[in-house]
Structure 1
């Protein structure tokens, strides 16, 4: 093959392809069709040149041109920072917002159960005696409950709390595999634990200490648990009522939404763990510690409502942009 003649014949096509690639995003419909056609032709030219004894510079130029044209035709991958920004401004908040009634229901059920059970324990000495001896209750109320937050170094305590809370939330999410049926049991267990501690503290007139220690981190921590419970139950309900979509398609979309919540809660629980390790046992006045917890909770709820509602109005589902199980159908 006469390489000089080959270059002379096909150089105009290469130059034209380079021009179209440089104007990507500003092409008309006809120019897009031309771009695709030239990309295919120049790819063939590259194969022919590689099969012969062509100049390495020519092979390099055509390889780079074909790679740029392929990116223009197929679309470049979204930068990682943009995907991360989309996750925190669209995917996580819109999934949380869409499931808001589910985790609000979980919140109300938890509060009712824990409050009723706690009042029952606080007002009935026989129930208290069935839970622990008088000496054990005194030890819990006077020492153990408060010492729990300060007996370990802050860094190790924060990491342990983070892992424990993340595990509790993951159990809620994993239960989605079983249509969310185990979620009420997990909520009941957590409500019972809170009720026992609160009831025993109230029975000895220490309810102010109980709320002073549990409120700073508990608001955000329990909200994360309720959110995990809500999306888990919502996935289970999708099996029963998939809506206008096919059941498998609806399950796949909601399943990916559950994963988005799981990843987002890692950050939420990390913040909660920091508050529990650094703020709850600190020497700040009780009102200041509670205020920090309230502010953290308010910021999170505002974040979900503002970004979630905005994404919902933009008809975002929180699903990935190119879901693998969805294809155009007629």
Structure 2
């Protein structure tokens, strides 16, 4: 291909796109033209990269397309409407698409926790090797319950929120490696199983579940969602399907980012419950009921709102308009 001739033939179109991208206001026809010119120049970039990959020209067209994309979408993504669309469409759609990954992770961890508690109850020597009788008595009589009221509720909520968000982020970020996610989840349930077995053995089982269930149902579900998302990220490059490994990993990475952002809000709710409901003087049945309601709302959010969003094509990935540059790089 004669690169000079190609540039001469299309330079006017590139300059027109640049002009539209720099305008503060666009009329309806001009907005339509911006989108049309964007698609044309994206095609030009693809041709240049394939037939005559001149680095200077590729950089120029890429910058031009980035500016045009920001001009076309920047105002929309910075509004409350964008936030609303995220929580009504994109986040629940992502949760629904990956539902079998995180539901499977949740079920597996519940089974493992139950088996561990049963095994620990049948082997009291393990407890004796971990804690002295005085430490067990302190845990059962004071430490477990006092943990939830040791700090001011607002500070405790923030602390719990940050800690749980960090655990969820690690599950997603390390997901590409696979095994670290399983290890993180195992550590989480092992700690729960050890404390649970000690409380149950010393006739504080009702006390244990009365303090864990109000916030733990939603909190652990969020962690298992993160774990399932991380495992799906790992599987995306092991078995990419019809996509290349790079494309599959990129798609699941963007979806994982969507879920990570959404889980921040979910964990904020569980943190508030843990700080204000779990240590409250409400009767146990009321506190547990609040936890069950929060969990039921989350599942309704996924399987009602998420199913509807998924049916409309929402998968947790970025909008197609934001991925046009990626398409344009292919020949």
TM-score by length of 1: 0.76
Give the equivalent residue in structure 2 for 1:82: 81
Q: Secondary structure at the match of 1:111?
A: helix
Q: Distance in 2 between matches of 1:201 and 1:287?
A: 19
1:45-64 map, 5 Å: none
CA 1:137–1:82 in structure 2 vs 1: closer, same or farther (change >3 Å)?
Answer: same
Q: Distance in 2 between matches of 1:162 and 1:291?
A: 21
Q: Secondary structure at the match of 2:282?
A: coil
Give the equivalent residue in structure 2 for 1:13: none
Give the equivalent residue in structure 1 for 2:316: 318
Post-superposition shift, 1:250? 1.5
Give the equivalent residue in structure 1 for 2:250: 252
1:83-232 map, 5 Å: 83-178=82-177, 180-232=178-230
Post-superposition shift, 1:181? 2.2
Deviation digits for residues 138-177 of structure 1 (CA, Å, limit 9, x no counterpart): 1101111111111111011111111111111111011123
1:24-35 map, 5 Å: 24=29
Q: Distance in 2 between matches of 1:203 and 1:142?
A: 13
| Residue of 275, 279, 282 corresponding to 1:281 | 279
Deviation digits for residues 8-54 of structure 1 (CA, Å, limit 9, x no counterpart): xxxxxxxxxxxxx7554999xxxx69x98xxxxxxxxxxxxxxxxxx
Q: Distance in 2 between matches of 1:121 and 1:229?
A: 25
**8 Å CA contact retained: 1:249, 1:326:** no
CA RMSD of superposed structures (Å):
2.4
CA 1:101–1:205 in structure 2 vs 1: closer, same or farther (change >3 Å)?
Answer: same
Q: Which has the higher helix share?
A: 2
Q: Distance in 1 between matches of 2:313 and 2:288?
A: 37
Higher radius of gyration, 1 or 2? 1
Give the equivalent residue in structure 2 for 1:3: none
Post-superposition shift, 1:326? 2.6
Give the equivalent residue in structure 2 for 1:237: 235
**8 Å CA contact retained: 1:114, 1:194:** yes
Moved more, 260-269 or 239-248: 239-248
Post-superposition shift, 1:120? 1.9
Give the equivalent residue in structure 2 for 1:290: 288
**8 Å CA contact retained: 1:118, 1:199:** yes
- Structure 1 residue ranges, 4+ long, deviating more than 6 angstroms after superposition: none
**8 Å CA contact retained: 2:176, 2:231:** no
TM-score by length of 2: 0.76
**8 Å CA contact retained: 2:94, 2:316:** yes
**Which segments of 5 or more consecutive residues in structure 2 lack a partner in the other structure?**
1-25, 38-66
Give the equivalent residue in structure 2 for 1:16: none
